[in-house]
Amino acid sequence: MRKLLKFLWKYKYQIIVLAWLLGLTALVSANEPKIAYKGYYEATELFVEPFVPHYYDYYQDYKEIVDCLIKYESGGNIQARGDNNTSFGILQFKKNTFQYYCVENYSYRDDIWDAGIQKSCSAEMVRNGLINHWTLYRLCL
């Protein structure tokens, strides 16, 4: 499923043009609300827009825990550096941890300084029982 979503995301503009050329977007009337399903596509009357579940999905479910981790890890400083310059950003990810979990396992963009990515990725990690990657996690439970 992730490979399919990566493919669709990579070719989103070609898919939009193809859908427009085929008239597929005419199936949705102007009076209908926009429909969004986790991991699928959102149809509107003018175009088909890829729906990216990462930035809204798990962070909202684990917001209190993630915000607590932010408080203790960086104090909310998105430019924070710690552990002798080996941890970066709002949630103090180490490069290898970020690469393994956020980029390879959860398919986020490889941008360790993006606070939105760090929040969403950490929420997925918490969801999957990986909260112990943060040393002060016990203060947030």
Q: What is the pLDDT, as a whole number, of residue 41?
A: 41
The closest of 107, 101, 106 to 7, measured between CA atoms, is 107
Q: What CATH number is attached to the domain comprising 102?
A: 1.10.530.10
Residues 120 and 87 in one domain: yes
Residues 87 and 31 in one domain: no
DSSP class of residue 110 equals S
Q: What is the pLDDT, as a whole number, of residue 14?
A: 67
DSSP class per residue in 22-68: HTGGGGS-TTSPPB--TTSEEE-SS-EEE---TTTHHHHHTHHHHHH
Tell me the residue range of the domain where 105 lies: 57-140
Residues 23 and 77 in one domain: no
Rounded Cα distance, 122 and 120, in Å: 5
How far are the Cα atoms of 12, 63, 75, 122 from residue 1, in angstroms, in the given order? 16, 26, 36, 21
Q: What is the pLDDT, as a whole number, of residue 6?
A: 72
Place of tokens 């981790």: 69
Residues 74-111 pLDDT 10s: 999 999 999 999 999 999 999 999 999 999 988 888 99
Residues 32-67 pLDDT 10s: 444 443 444 444 444 444 444 444 467 788 999 999
Mean pLDDT of 7-20: 66
Contact 99, 34 (CB under 8 A): no
Residues 41 and 74 in one domain: no
Residues 93 and 125 in one domain: yes
Least confident of 25-34, 73-82, 121-130: 25-34
Query: How many domains is the chain partitioned into structurally?
Result: 2
Tokens of 90: 């709002």
